[in-house]
């Protein structure tokens, strides 16, 4: 039996109005978990966001753990895990034909020119950000909020990406101003930590 296809609405970005402040959390969400929700709730509060979009990718070019669960299944599980009216789940990358962040952000900037977007990621991603395709272009496309992860602060803040863009980091106390800043601009957010990871959850299932 073939896997179910995502609903047409899931393959379009959520609606957004000019002036809205929206955080973008991309990933395979394979599976989604409470750590994703914690990152989102922290961003909603600390960055004074209107919404957070979970962008469920067709696949992650940097991850070699085999094929992810079907896209429609990951969308459904993400909605169950998010449990918040201001967290929107979308898989529009599948319809624009990319799993690369830089292309996704350019698409959103063109589609919603009046929206203040912020790219959200964990400190573990900042530590390896220099391996992402067009990572320097991502810094110049959109403000970035990096959220602390257990055991990753030192690696993240001594990473090649931090070395290259460290002078554009704003104080954590000024985090609410981040969405309105012209990129490059980024902030490192401390707060409640979750040890959950999709990799660990997949290992437990196996």
Q: Residue 65: is its pLDDT beyond 70? A: no
149-193 pLDDT, tens per residue?
999 999 999 999 999 999 999 999 999 999 999 999 999 999 776
The residues near 113 (Cβ < 8 Å, ≥ 6 apart) are 18
Q: Residue 205: is its pLDDT beyond 90? A: no
Quick one: average pLDDT of 27-49? 95
Torsion of CA 23, 182, 149, 189, to 10 degrees: -90
Q: Which residues of 36-68 are buried (b: 16+ CB within 10 A; e: fewer)?
A: bbbbbbbbbebbebbbbbbbbbbeeeeeeeeeb
Q: Residue 67: is its pLDDT beyond 80? A: no
* Residue 4's pLDDT band (cuts 50, 70, 90): confident
pLDDT at 180: 98
- Fold of the CATH domain 8-205: Rossmann fold (3.40.50)
The model's pTM is: 0.90
DSSP one-letter code for 92: T
The mean of the pLDDT values for the chain is 91
- In the chain, % of residues over pLDDT 90: 83
Q: Residue 64: is its pLDDT beyond 70? A: no
Of residues 124, 125, 123, 126, the one with CA closest to residue 164? 126
């Amino acid at each position: 039996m073939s896997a179910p296809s995502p609903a047409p609405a899931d393959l379009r970005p959520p609606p957004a109005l000019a002036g809205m402040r929206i955080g973008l959390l991309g990933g395979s969400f394979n599976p989604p978990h409470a750590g994703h929700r914690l990152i989102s709730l922290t961003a909603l509060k600390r960055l004074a966001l209107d919404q957070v979009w979970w962008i469920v990718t067709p696949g992650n070019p940097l991850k070699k753990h085999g094929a992810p669960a079907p896209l429609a299944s990951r969308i459904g599980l993400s909605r169950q895990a998010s449990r918040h009216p201001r967290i929107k789940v979308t898989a529009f990358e599948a319809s624009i034909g990319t799993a690369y962040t830089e292309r996704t952000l350019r698409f959103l900037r063109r589609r919603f020119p009046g929206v203040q977007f912020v790219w959200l990621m964990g400190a573990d991603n900042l530590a390896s950000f220099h391996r992402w395709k067009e990572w320097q272009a991502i810094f110049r496309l959109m403000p970035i909020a990096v959220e602390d992860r257990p055991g990753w602060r030192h690696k993240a803040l001594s990473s090649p990406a931090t070395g290259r863009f460290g002078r554009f980091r704003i104080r954590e106390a000024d985090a609410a101003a981040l969405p309105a800043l012209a990129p490059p601009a980024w902030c490192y957010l401390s707060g409640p930590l979750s040890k959950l990871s999709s990799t660990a959850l997949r290992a437990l299932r196996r």
